[in-house]
Structure 1
Amino acid sequence: MEQPTGGTGPADAADGAAESLDRPLPEGVRRKVVALVSDAFGGLTVGELPSQLRQYARFTPSRRAKFAGNAMAAALESDPAFRRRIAERVTQTQPELAGALGAGAPPAAADPVDVAAAAYVLRPAGWVKLVAAAGEEVQRAHAERADEETRRELERLREELDHARGQTRADTERLRSELEASRKETDSLHRKLRSALSEVKRGEAALRKAAAEADGVRAEAAAQVSAAESETRRLKARLAEAEASVEAGRRAAREGRSVEDMRLRLLLDTVLDAAQGLRRELALPPSSTRPADSVDAVEPGRMSPKDIAARALSETDPALLDQLLALPQAHLIVDGYNVTKTGYPQMPLEKQRLRLLGGLSVLAAQTGAEMTCVFDGAELAAPVLLAPPRGVRVLFSKAGVTADELIRQLARAEPPGRPVVVVSTDREVADGVAKAGARPVASVLLLKRLSRV
């Protein structure tokens, strides 16, 4: 390989290699050295590169300087063969500068940083002094530039300070004027505010007075309205009572006529049936009587008074009930639970009712008498779904009304003279229906009669 031009021989290179720096490279010189190595890097083969730099062989010089700068600087310092190859490339690309450095006379017009970087790579005799001188020159240049920049910055700051002072004085004057105007405006506003507050207080006093008067008026109006509403309600109540009384009178008149007509017709039918039954019972002649018939005597084939007395039955004989039900238009009223709890109290109430009503239905079919069975509604735990048997009226007392009272009401509803038979062992029931003209019989009598059904 050719030796670098400019008179640097092996001896010089050896002398330069023996020298060493006692301080780090100045930053500017270091960047220039890295740039020189990066540019010369591309002219070497992969085999000529140190192993740690071969991975950057395909990088561009700028990317190589960016990513491999430290590695190239370290290889340049530790690998003399790599440094010689880089020095050869620098000598080829910058022969004038390399020759001047080899002659010991670097160009006076050259940049000290470029001279120091080339000297660091080529290592001519006295290269350490050149690098140190370049570093000092760079520092002086940097110091001069820093002083110049500091002076310019100081001048700029002084100008800005003068401008700021002038602006501050102008702003201060303006603010003083504005403050004085604000003070005057504030005083005016304070006066207006005091006047407005006085007006507000007077207005509030007037408002309170008006509100008090309005409250009084509203209270008086409310009292009048309340009185009027009370009077209206009272008049409406009286009107409703009058209308209800008129309607009740009309209804009572209608119902009274209807009930009286029904009672009269029923009583007439009872009298007619009783007359016919009595005629059949006494075997009376068809219709006509003769004067001789009024003579007290016993005719052959007729019953004597002893015979009639012998026909009287005991109070516990079921035949007595048959005789009573055989009367015309007879009505049998049964105290339901009194009978069932006397005859079969161990059964559930539902089965008690069904058993009694079944027997009464058969009895009604046999006798043709009207039959009503009354149960106490207080005994019910739930509404009863009951289809009354044929010929039997089934009634439950309403809430607050006992079955005994309902039985007495039924007895009092019948017209005087109609045969009404009430079956109950309750003494109060028996006494009450007896006063109404009904015939009370014991429950056991009905039970014996139903046992024959």
Structure 2
Amino acid sequence: MTEPSAPGSVPALPEQVRARLVALADETLGTLAPGEVPAPLRPFLRFTPARRLRHAAPALAAALELDEGFRERVADRVRDALPGVADALAAGSVPPAAEPADLAAAAYLLRTPGWEEVVGGVAREGREQQAGAELAEARAAAERLHAQLAVLRTQQRTDIDRVRTELHAAKAEVAELRHRLHGAREESRTAAGRSRRAVEEAEQRAADAEARAARAETEARRLRDRLAAVEGERDGARRQVREGRTAADARLRLLLDVVADAATGLRRELALPASDVRPADSVEALAPGQALQGVGPRALASDDPAVLDELLSLPRVHLVVDGYNVTKSGYGGLALQAQRERLVTGLGGLVARTGAEVTCCFDGAAVDAPVVVAKPRGVRVLFSLPGETADELIRRLVANEPAGRPVVVVSSDKEVAAGVVRSGARPVAAMALVRRLERG
């Protein structure tokens, strides 16, 4: 039979002893019938063991302290679980091999003679162990602080040495900058002198240039007068040539009439049907309303529009135009749509004046949006197929023409010019067409 304790005589329990008591009380609570459970603990019967241990710990500790019957049931569980510890405490001895928490919990529950000293001894031992651990931790912290202090002192000495070195370097740099400043001032004064002399020389050259300009203007007036005289002589010579060519022109016209009549008879004999289809119509390409992409200009010689006039006067001539090559050469500052419209409109006027067949090719390899191009009468507008450049489209157009037909290709691309020459076409520089269209 345990001895009841007087109020206030229970020593303060260490945390590990309190946890052990609560665990024993929770295990005992799970074995009791509902009628045997103390009233304060009955709401926790529905909890799972793990949840009850978390939420009912204060109520379990209070029941152990205040409910002697409940404490006796927990003590019975301790006698069954720890018989050696219970017998030793009942005999007034302390088993040396027992766990401190189990020993204190058993003494608290069994209330054997001297149980307060047992619990107090365990509490003191726990406090001493905690104090020892705190002392060891404090010593370790002190050692760490001493080590950090040594490191900081070493770092401080290193920083001082580094700052001194940087200070010496800064002083040396300041001295160097002062020396350079002095040199820069000297150079500035020298440069100012040279600048004054350069201004004087420029003024002298300007005066000489004005004098040369006056002499050049006088020479230009003399040359213009001479040119007017030469043009008068040329006009007279042309009139004489025209008068002398009258008979030769009549013979040539008669010969051309004979050739034309022969060609008409041959066409009638071969029964060739009339057709508006041209070889260029059979070349596969993208029609307007699809996409196009610009190409950069390249260089070619010969940009006299008179050459183009002579070629367009050939019968049944086919003029093939490298679209972006021409627009980039003539008016590359405009937007692509404006470039196309300006070129195609100009080609429409050229067709109206010369009657030539005109095909304008644009690069459409990388375009994925439709492009609207107004096509004047007589102007064929083509875009290269996907994966093909306008240069390749032009080569296919020229290769598709019959041998002997005059074909003129307008492009400043040297590769295009070389390719069409091998096919029998005549290349003309892009600027020749630009100047021809500007002339109207």
Fold match by TM threshold 0.5 = no
Larger-Rg structure:
1
TM-score bracket for the superposition, by shorter chain length: 0.3 to 0.5
| TM-score normalised by L of structure 1 | 0.38
